[in-house]
């Protein structure tokens, strides 16, 4: 997908990984309960409210880097959309970015609130 042609408001439910990445992701999430526990334990301590990391299983982008902002479930009620957008914009200040939260039907991780962020390169 080309960064300039991607419109999060209309395209955000389209998952587009290259085949190798999609296969690795499918293998990784085979054990659903382990997958959810591992996400929480690898991302957070009890005091870390959120983190932004490069996506381990990125969507395919011709000219962008793919990140994910993860919200610690302990703090999920504190982070509304306005606050989350503020975090993203502050972290990527002076960068050209697009961000979105997948619709529920397109989320493979339901237990941790997260936003996708792509940065144009």
Query: How far is the C-alpha of 81 from the C-alpha of 85, rounded, in Å?
Result: 6
pLDDT (tens digit per residue) in 38-67:
777 778 877 889 999 999 888 888 889 999
Cβ within 8 Å of residue 14, ≥6 positions away? 1
Q: Which residue has the tokens 């529920």?
A: 104
3-class SS of residue 105: helix
pLDDT (tens digit per residue) in 60-117:
888 899 999 999 988 989 999 999 999 999 999 999 999 999 888 778 788 889 999 9
Q: Tell me which H or E stretch contains 11.
A: helix 8-11
Domain layout of the chain by residue ranges: 3-120
């Amino acid at each position: 997908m080309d960064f300039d042609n991607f419109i999060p408001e209309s395209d955000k439910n389209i998952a587009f990984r290259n085949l190798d990445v999609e296969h690795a992701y499918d293998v990784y999430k085979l054990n659903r309960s382990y997958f959810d526990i591992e996400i929480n334990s690898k991302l957070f301590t009890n005091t870390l409210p959120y983190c932004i990391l490069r996506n381990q299983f990125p969507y395919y982008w011709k000219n962008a880097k793919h990140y994910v902002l993860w919200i610690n479930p302990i703090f999920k009620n504190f982070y509304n959309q306005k606050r989350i957008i503020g975090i993203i914009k502050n972290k990527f200040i002076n960068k050209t970015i697009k961000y979105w939260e997948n619709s529920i039907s397109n989320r493979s991780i339901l237990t941790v609130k997260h936003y996708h962020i792509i940065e144009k390169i």
